[in-house]
Amino acid sequence: MVDAATKKLIKSISIDDTSSIKSAMAAIDAGGIGLALLVNTKHKTFAGLVTDGDIRRALLGGAGLSSPAASIPRPNATISQSETSTSEIASLFSKAIRIIPILNNNNQVVDLAMMESRLRLPIAEPVIGEKELSYVTEAILGGWVSSAGSFITRFEKLFAEYCGSNYAIATSSGTTALHLALEALNITTNDEVIVPSFSFISTANAVCYTGAQPIFVDSEQESWNIDPELIEESITPATKAIIAVHIYGHPAKMDAIRNIASKNDLIVIEDAAEAHGALYKGHRVGNLGDVGCFSFYGNKTVTTGEGGMIVTDNPDLAEKIRILRDHGMSPEKKYWHIVLGYNYRMTNLQAALGVAQMEKIDSLLAAKERISLQYSKALRNVPGINLPQDNDWAVRSTWLYTITINAKAFGKNRDELMEFLKSHEIDARPAFPSIHKQPIYNTGQKLDVAEELSNTGLSLPSSVNLLDTDVDRVCTAIKAFHEN
């Protein structure tokens, strides 16, 4: 007996076989399972199916939104009959086939067979829907595919408004955003910039691109971010700036950092690459220092594939960043280069993705919060599992849900758990290695907290697409490994 929910789902994803690609995209978006069912207009029989992947390939191949969905190239659908046994249907599933239409004797879809969970749970993945496809298609059809176009200005405006900033400047990556910010703030050779060692390496690399030297500071246990109490002792006459990284989406202690910066006449740069939407004392991160930098890499909560953004309230700084971003070209005279600049521009295609992503950022963050709460509830009482901490002065934007493993209490170390999860098709990732221990830096410092986090931290699957059953599968595997 087919339940009411399945009947409703079949209805929502069914379209006439004369329908357009745009209608198919709407049905795919409504159903949320990645495909639409094509139904013969006259006989109401099954005529095929079309997936979101089929549509992406068709649009890239030159099809338009008004093109018939049934005409686009797609593989033959794998189907089954209502009288077929469960075991026979199960044998049809594969990595490529996760949903099978079940037909009655009249060749009508009466049920859907779906794998209960994905074969592999990725650490993160982009969420690309109808609007993303529509906006990118608009950019392609309009011919604006490079570093000029309306989507760039729309994306910058949306992001500035979201962060509460006066200006936003789109860039080619989060790393180039950091580099441009440092350059525009006149960080140069013989300067020093204080950075946390527990971060992705681009935080320090961007400093080195300017000729300045990164000075590594340990983290605090509470938030895993740079420890404000250790910053002041690292300040020298050469210190010009502090980079505060909101690691894994948890805000750093910005009041303390700004107070230290103010007392010592230092610049504050926020590396908010992992913290879209996070709040510090009710305020969005990114607009809490002199300048904030974000990343839109493919695994970020908001993605443009590659890309970054700089936000600031300083009009002179924003103008300088725009000039540096575009080869140092004068804004008044084309091809007249007034400073040494860079080609760090974002494309209109990437910005089209970004606009669509920003239009649903609240739902993306809500899904991340749902996943985070489910992990915390399920893993709270597992010996040796230390959960990411929450604080009443901050709202975390969980980029990757990251735990630490006390090997003695858990019974196995972090790497053993990671390999166990991967053997069960569950992607897991070690926390960032401390930058001061990396071969290209290797300062010889002993930074206890950063090193402990690097050696024990483990990021779990955190994709917005995860179902509750997927999160349960991860937690069950962790508990089973501990118990055995």
- Residues with a catalytic annotation lie at 300
What are 158's two structure tokens? 């949306």
Handedness of CA 53, 59, 63, 64 (dihedral sign): positive
DSSP per residue, 189-254: TT-EEEEESSS-THHHHHHHHTT-EEEEEPBPTTTSSB-HHHHGGG--TTEEEEEEE-GGGPPP-H
| Burial (0-12, 13-18, 19+ Cβ within 10 Å), 91 | exposed
Q: C-alpha distances in angstroms, 211 versus 81, 183, 187, 340, 360?
A: 68, 10, 8, 15, 39
- Which 3 state secondary structure label does DSSP give 417? helix
Q: Yes or no: say if 304 and 353 are a contact pair by the CB < 8 Å rule.
A: yes
Q: Which of 20, 187, 184, 322 is nearest to 36 (CA)?
A: 20
The kind and range of the H/E element at 49 are strand 46-51
Q: Helical H runs in 110-186?
A: 130-142, 150-163, 174-184
Provide the β-strand partners of residue 326: 343
State the Cα–Cα distance between residues 257 and 243, nearest whole angstrom.
9
Residues ≥6 apart with Cβ < 8 Å to 373: none
